[in-house]
Chains A and B, each alone.
Chain A
Amino acid sequence: MTTAPAPVRARHPGFVADLTTVSLRAVRLTLRDPEAIIPALVIPLFFFVINLGQLQSFTEQGFPGLDFKAFQLPVAIIFAVTGVSRAGSLVIDIQSGYLDRLLVTPLRRLTLLLGLMVADLLLVMALSVGVVLMGFVVGVGFETGIAGVALFVLLGGLWGLAFTGFPYAIALKTGSPAAVNSSFLLFFPFAFLTSSYVPTEALTGWLRAVARFNPCTYLLEGMRSLVYGGWDAAALAKALAAIAGVGTVSMSLALTALRGRVRRA
């Protein structure tokens, strides 16, 4: 227990350095947290295979010319990335007191959230790539080529990122793992009150009306256009607008919750 004092001087590292520090930690912990990644890989694969097995013949007979595998690929992306976040680990930091350890440093508070989201974005992009590879394996092709594939993955990643604000808001507001787990319920209306199994025009009256207000409907249409519709600027613009709309709401909630958590109440 002896040492010479080291000639160090604390200083503000700057916003980018803070963001990098929090992001590196989040990425490292993501890689050490396979139990959080495996379900996000297995669930879309499971539903993709089951949906094809149950509905492919029926749907393709009902909609001549429809490639149900291509139709389902964006749905698999939604299943893979929606709700994937480090909100659970944030709750652990709150409960263990590690968040307080971070808060007594000069760390920029905003980077606490943004750093986690950097890791989330990388993860959901990786999950999107995985789903696309799965699509390639079963024979799905992209009419828009490599650029379309890249945009498809990017849309999936951005959607996943836009959605993370909800679990983060819940985590920061409640500090409760149970509440964060229950945020998964938000996934269901987004993923199922839309054209997840049949085209929008085939939905029954009430569901078609609801689907019109579901951002996922426009995201799915934009992503499907990249797979089998060719470049469709209007569809892509609507998809991006849907992501932006959800992101604006969720991030506003998350930032409000962050302010509440760190305001030294």
Chain B
Amino acid sequence: MTAAAPAAILAEGLARTYGEVRAVDGIDLHVAPGEIYGFLGPNGAGKSTTVRMLTTLARPSGGRAVVAGHDVATDPDGVRLRIGVALQEAALDAKQTGRELLDLQGRLYGLNRAERAQRSDDLARLVDLGTALDRRVGTYSGGMKRRLDLALALVHHPEVLFLDEPTTGLDPASRAMVWAEVRRLNVEQGMTIFLTTQYLEEADELAHRVGIIAAGRIVAEGTPAALKRSIGTDVIVARVHGDLAAARTAVAAVPGVERVDIHGGELTASVADGAAALSPVAVALAGCGVHVAGITLRTPTLDDVFLETTGSHLEAS
């Protein structure tokens, strides 16, 4: 999974505009075969538009993208044969049964009767729908629909799997089941997976590398560990009332503090050794005349990375 490896997904200056709005503003991607790439960003950041271009549903306004070796603009059919897609909303036909949908999906990829039957049985076990597979989809719960949606994306054994917010709206048990399946597909079958999410934990748990997108641009990219390390070893977060500029100056002067950011009433200090720096930071805050409503020490999260690169918390965006 180095930059020199042949890309399962390659994008160069990929852009998409809707009227005056640049939904995706010239992004570059290099996703290696067998990699799980997490595309993290808030609603409206451009995640789904990027997926729609990479899956041939939308034509790029600029730049180019190659998926599984085929250009999305000039050879969309070549791309379609090699990708599986589960879009943001579980897109299912409520009046058909799960088995009928699996069979139909197999037909669309040219599978013969025996292959369709085999894949339906395999995937029925995979998504754990049991006898519900022969019920109409309209009777399914949200979690069952998501699992069937995932199974449909896998019918033809794609090289690259696109999952657009696959666990949004799911209960914890269903979410864990989807995560386990994503890992298994990647480990056992070497499937390349492009996963969009607005959940920090999901990107952290699943992705080999994460790209953070905000306002149509990738603002940070790397492994979750490397991204978090870029913030510092530890983070001290203080909720402060009063003269924030004075607080920043006071904390920045504390030995071991690498960087201080203020967002709203929250002061964040990146430090190399949190345990050692916590007391001096608290003393510095007390000494500069501000009121400290709370102070915590923790390790950095991807939300800290998002905050650092965009100026706002992901989950508040």
Contacts and interface: CB of A to CB of B under 8 A. Distances in A.
Contact of A3 (B83, B109, B122, B156): B122
Interface stretch (B5-13, B52-60, B247-255): B52-60
Contacts of A103: 56-57
A33 B94 CA distance: 12
Nearest to A97: B91
A17 interface: yes
A202 interface: no
Nearest to B126: A3
Contacts of A101: 85, 87, 91-92, 152
A105 B109 contact: yes
Nearest to A12: B110
B81 A106 contact: yes
Given A1-B128, A11-B81, A28 B100 contact: yes
B96 interface: yes
B74 to A, nearest CB: 12
Contact of B59 (A9, A12, A24, A264): A264
Interface residues of B, number: 49
Contacts of A104: 55-57, 80, 83, 85, 87
A1 B109 contact: no
Contacts of B126: 1-3
Q: Which of A5, A8, A21, A33 has the most CB of B within 10 A?
A: A8
Nearest to A33: B95
B197 interface: no
A248 B58 CA distance: 30
A1 B176 CA distance: 11
Interface string A60-104: 000000000000000000000000000000000100111011111
A221 interface: no
Contacts of B303: none
A51 B59 CA distance: 55
Contact of B108 (A3, A6, A21): A21
A265 interface: yes
Majority-rule SS of A interface residues? loop
B105 interface: yes
Interface string A1-41: 11111101111111001101100110011001100000000
Nearest to B107: A21
Nearest to B124: A3
B20 interface: no
Interface of B: 55-59, 76-77, 80-83, 85, 87-89, 91-96, 100, 104-105, 107-111, 115, 118-119, 122-123, 125-128, 152, 155-158, 177, 180-181, 184, 188-189
17 contacts: A1-B177, A2-B125, A6-B115, A6-B118, A6-B157, A8-B109, A8-B155, A9-B156, A10-B157, A10-B158, A13-B110, A17-B110, A93-B93, A97-B91, A98-B91, A107-B108, A264-B76
Interface of A: 1-6, 8-14, 17-18, 20-21, 24-25, 28-29, 32-33, 93, 96-98, 100-107, 263-265
